A and B are shown apart, each in its own frame.
Chain A
Amino acid sequence: MTAATVGSREKQSPESGVDLWLRLVMIWHVILGLGSLGGIAYVWAGADLADWVKILVSVALGLTAVASIVAVNDINGRKHRGRTISLAVNYLGFLVAFFGSLHRIGVFTGIDSLADSFLQGLPFLILVFAGFFIGTLTDRYQKPATQRALKQTSKAMMIVAGIAFLLAVGIHNGILVLLGKLTNPVILLMVVVTAVFGLMLWAMWRQPSAEAMNATNADNEMLSGYLFLSPNLLGFLFFFAGPLLLSLYVSFTNWDAFGTKDWVGLANYGRIVNIDVARLNTITQLASEAIDVTVYDELTRFEIFGKSYIVGAQDKLFWLSLRNTLTFVLLSVPLSVIPALFLSNLLNSKIAGMKFFRAVYFLPSVAAVVGIALVWQWLFNATIGYINYFITVMVDFLNSVGGSFFDPQIRWLSDSNTALLAVVIVAAWQWMGFNTVLFLAGLQNIPRSLYEAATVDGANSWQQFWKVTLPLLAPTTFFVITTTTIQAMQIFEQVFILIPTNPAGPNNSTLTLVLYLYQKGFQRFEQGYASAIAWVLFVIIFGATLFQFQRQRASGSSYDA
Chain B
Amino acid sequence: MKSYRLTETLKKFLIYAVLIIFAFVMIFPFLYMLTTSFKLPKDTFRYPPRLLPRDALTMEVAGFDDPLPLYYVTVDGREEQFVLIESNIRTGVYADPNNPDVTVELPVSEVEPRGGFTNQEAITVAGEEQKLWDVLVNGEIVPMIQVSQTALGRFADPNDLSREVLQNVRLSQPVEELSAHPQNYNEVVDLQGMDRSLSNTALVTILVVSGQLITSILGGYAFARLRFPGRDKLFVVYLGTIMIPFVVLITPLYQLMVTIGWVDKLAALIVPWIFTAYGTFLMRQFFITIPKEIEEAALIDGASRLEILLRIFIPASTPALATLATFTFLYAWNSFFWPLVVINTGNVENHVLTLSLNVLRGRASDSPNLILAGAAIAILPPMIIFIFGQRFFVESATSSGVKG
Which residues of chain A have a CB within 8 Å of any CB of chain B?
Answer: 8-9, 103, 108-109, 111-112, 114-116, 118-119, 122, 125, 136, 218, 221-222, 224-226, 228-229, 231-236, 238-244, 246-247, 250, 257, 339, 343, 346-347, 349, 351, 355, 357-372, 374-379, 383-386, 389, 429, 432-434, 437-438, 441-442, 475-476, 478-479, 482-483, 486, 489-490, 492-493, 496-497, 500, 514, 517-518, 521-522, 527, 530-531, 534-535, 537-538, 541-542, 545
Contacts and interface: CB of A to CB of B under 8 A. Distances in A.
Contact of A368 (B18, B270, B353): B353
Interface stretch (B70-78, B152-160, B386-394): B386-394
30 contacts: A111-B203, A111-B267, A112-B267, A115-B199, A118-B203, A119-B198, A125-B206, A231-B219, A235-B271, A240-B277, A243-B252, A247-B249, A343-B19, A363-B30, A364-B26, A366-B386, A367-B383, A368-B357, A368-B379, A371-B378, A372-B379, A386-B28, A429-B25, A429-B26, A429-B29, A497-B357, A500-B365, A530-B251, A534-B245, A538-B247
B371 A389 contact: no
Contacts of B249: 240, 243-244, 247
Contact of B245 (A243, A434, A531, A538): A538
Given A228-B305, A375-B33, A490-B247, A221 B26 contact: no
A379 B383 CA distance: 21
B218 A229 contact: yes
Contacts of A433: 26
A221 B33 CA distance: 55
A383 B33 CA distance: 17
B256 interface: yes
A389 B18 CA distance: 22
B285 interface: no
Interface in B352-374: 353-354, 357-358, 361, 365, 368, 371-372, 374
B265 interface: yes
Given A108-B265, A114-B203, A522-B341, 15 more contacts: A111-B203, A115-B196, A115-B350, A224-B222, A232-B219, A239-B272, A239-B275, A250-B251, A357-B22, A359-B386, A371-B379, A375-B30, A441-B397, A497-B358, A530-B251
Nearest to A537: B247
A293 to B, nearest CB: 31
Contact of B333 (A122, A368, A374): A368
Contact of B231 (A225, A362, A489): A225
B244 A236 contact: no
Contacts of A384: 44-47, 49
A368 B197 CA distance: 14
The 8 closest A-B pairs by CB, nearest first: A235-B275, A479-B404, A232-B219, A225-B226, A225-B228, A243-B252, A371-B375, A228-B222
B contacts with A: majority SS: helix
Task: Pick the most buried of B48, B238, B336: most chain A CB atoms within 10 A of its CB.
Answer: B336
A224 B36 CA distance: 57
A378 B374 CA distance: 14
A545 B242 CA distance: 13
A109 B267 contact: yes
Contacts of A339: 22
Contacts of B228: 221-222, 225-226, 229
A230 to B, nearest CB: 8
Nearest to B218: A228
Contacts of B365: 500
Interface in B214-272: 214-216, 218-219, 221-223, 226-229, 231, 234, 238, 241, 243-256, 258, 260-262, 265-267, 270-272
Interface in B18-56: 18-19, 22-23, 25-30, 32-33, 36, 44-49
A228 B226 contact: yes
A378 B368 contact: yes
Given A115-B350, A229-B223, A361 B23 contact: yes
Contacts of A374: 357, 361, 371-372, 374-375
A231 B214 contact: yes
B397 A365 contact: yes
Given A229-B218, A366-B383, A517 B247 contact: yes
Contacts of A500: 361, 365
B112 interface: no
Contacts of A372: 29, 375, 379
Interface residues of B, number: 116
B5 to A, nearest CB: 16
A221 B358 CA distance: 50
A475 B404 contact: yes
Contact of B271 (A108, A125, A236, A378): A108
Interface string B164-208: 000000000000000000000000000000011011101100110
A229 B219 contact: yes
Contacts of A370: 334, 336, 354, 357-358, 375, 378
B203 A115 contact: yes
B63 interface: no
A232 B275 contact: yes
B202 A243 contact: no
B256 A483 contact: no
A235 B241 CA distance: 14
Interface in B335-361: 336-337, 340-341, 349-350, 353-354, 357-358, 361
B372 A119 contact: no
B330 interface: yes
Nearest to B237: A241
B243 A486 contact: yes
A225 B227 contact: yes
Contact of B253 (A115, A224, A243, A492): A243
A437 B391 CA distance: 11
A133 B54 CA distance: 42
A347 B20 CA distance: 11
Given A118-B202, A363-B383, A240 B275 contact: yes
B83 to A, nearest CB: 27
A268 B401 CA distance: 36
A71 B183 CA distance: 69
Contacts of A122: 199, 202
B241 A240 contact: yes
Contacts of B267: 108-109, 111-112
B49 A385 contact: yes
A385 B368 CA distance: 11
B234 to A, nearest CB: 7
B163 interface: no
B365 to A, nearest CB: 7
A396 to B, nearest CB: 11
B180 to A, nearest CB: 18
A42 to B, nearest CB: 21
A261 to B, nearest CB: 10
A356 B262 CA distance: 44
Contacts of B12: 351
A351 B15 contact: yes
